[in-house]
Amino acid sequence: MPDVNLATTAPGTRRLRVDAARNQQRIVDAARELFADRGLEITLDDVAERAGVGVGTVYRRFANRRELVSEVFTGHIREFAEVAEEALVADDPWEGLVRLFEYACRRMATDRGFSEVMLELGEDRARFDCPREEIGPTVAAVMERARAAGVVQPGIEATDLFALIYMVDSLADFARPIDSDIWRRYMAITLNGIRAADTPPQALTVNALSLAEVEQAKAAKPGPFPSRRR
C-alpha cells in the first residue's frame, strides 16, 4: 500500500471544504436578499450574479429553486416559531400577542418572499419543504391565552390572527411605494380592533397617508390591492 502524505493532502482538502462552505453561505445570503426584495420569482442565475459565483456553483449545491427556497425559509419559519413560543410564556398575555403580531407583520411587510411562502404553503405544501406546522398550534395557544385572560374580544380565533396578518401585509404592499413603515399604523389599528375594552390601545406612531399619497400609491400599482401571486 503506497504511503499517503497527510501533511500535504489534508490542508488542501480542508481548504476546499472551507471554500465550499463560504460559497454556500454567499449563495444563501444572496438568495435571502433577492427573495426579500423581489419575491420567489427569481432564478438561480440571479442568485449566482448577486453572490458573485458561477452559475455552476449554485447548481452544484441546489438542484432547483425549490431547494433554495426551502434552505432560506425553513430558518425564517423556525424563527417565527421561536417568537411564538416566547409570546406564549410572556408575563402579560396581551403583550405576548402584540409581540407575536408585530413580528409577523414586520416579516411579511418587509420580506416579499416570506410573504409569498406563507401564502402559498397552505395551498401547495409539496412545493416548499418549510415546516409551517411548527407555527400554527403555538399561535393558537397564544390567542387562546389572550382570550382566557379577557384581553381580546370574545370570539376572536387564531385563524383570525393569520387573516389579519395577511390583511396588514396587503395594505402595506399597497402603500409601500409611499411609506415603507406604514404597516406599523395598520398593525396598531388592527390590534385596537380586536382588543377588549379594558385593554390599553396601541399608539398610532405612523401618520396616515394623505389623499394625494393614496392616489400616488394607486398609480404605482394596477388596482388597489394587487396580488403577489403569479
Indicate whether 30 and 126 sit together in one domain.
no
User: Which of 44, 63, 82 is the C-terminal boundary of a domain?
Assistant: 63
Check whether residue 79 and residue 121 sit in a common domain. yes
Q: Please tell me whether residues 53 and 103 are part of one structural domain.
A: no
For residue 115, pLDDT beyond 90? no
Q: How many domains does the chain have?
A: 2
Does position 185 have pLDDT exceeding 90, yes or no? yes
30: three-class secondary structure by DSSP: helix
User: Across-strand partners of 195?
Assistant: 152
Q: How much of the chain exceeds pLDDT 90, in percent?
A: 37
| Residue type (1 letter), 21 | A
Residues 85, 196: one domain? yes
Separation of alpha carbons 46 and 161, rounded Å:
35
pLDDT digits over 59-111, tens only?
888 888 888 888 888 888 888 889 999 999 999 999 999 999 999 999 888 88
- Segment 16-21 shows an average pLDDT of 71
Residue 170 CA from chain centroid, whole number? 14
Boundaries of domain holding 181: 73-230
Note whether 36 and 124 are same-domain residues: no
- Give the pLDDT mean for 191-204: 95
* CATH number of the domain to which 111 belongs: 1.10.357
Task: Please count the CA atoms within 13 angstroms of the CA of 78 that sit on its side-chain side.
Answer: 8
- Is residue 68 included in any domain, yes or no? no
Q: Give, in order, the Cα–Cα distances in Å from 3 to each of 6, 10, 13, 23, 203.
A: 9, 14, 17, 33, 74
Report yes or no on 220 lying in a domain.
yes
Residue identified by cell 459565483 is 53
CA atoms within 13 A on the CB side of 58: 26
Retrieve residue 28's grid coordinates. Answer: 444563501
Residue 222: pLDDT band by 50, 70, 90 thresholds? low
pLDDT reading at 191 higher than 90: yes
Structural domain includes residue 50 = yes
Same domain, 193 and 212: yes
pLDDT at 100: 95
Residue 12 pLDDT grade (very low, low, confident, very high; cuts 50, 70, 90): low
- Position 106 in a domain: yes
Co-location of 80 and 174 in the same domain: yes
The chain-wide mean pLDDT, for the chain, equals 83
| One domain, residues 194 and 84 | yes
Q: What pLDDT sits at residue 102?
A: 96
Residues 107 and 83 in one domain: yes
- Which of 211, 215, 138, 127 is CA-nearest to residue 174? 215
Tell whether 59 and 78 lie within a shared domain: no
Q: Which residue has the higher pLDDT, 164 or 117?
A: 164
Domain boundary among 34, 63, 92: 63
What would the grid cell of residue 80 be?
A: 417565527
* Three-class DSSP category at 166: helix
CATH of the domain at 13: 1.10.357.10
> What is the rounded CA–CA span in Å between residue 61 and residue 27?
9
Looking at per-residue confidence, does 223 or 200 come out higher?
A: 200
Mean pLDDT of 173-195: 92
Residue scoring higher pLDDT (153 or 115): 153
- pLDDT single digits (tens) 128-181: 444 556 688 899 999 999 999 999 999 898 889 888 998 998 888 888 888 889
Q: Where a domain ends, among 41, 63, 85?
A: 63
Distance in angstroms between the alpha carbons of the first and the last residue of the chain? 60
Instruction: Give the Cα separation of 96 and 87 in Å (integer).
Output: 4
Same domain, 164 and 218: yes
Q: Is the same domain home to 40 and 79?
A: no
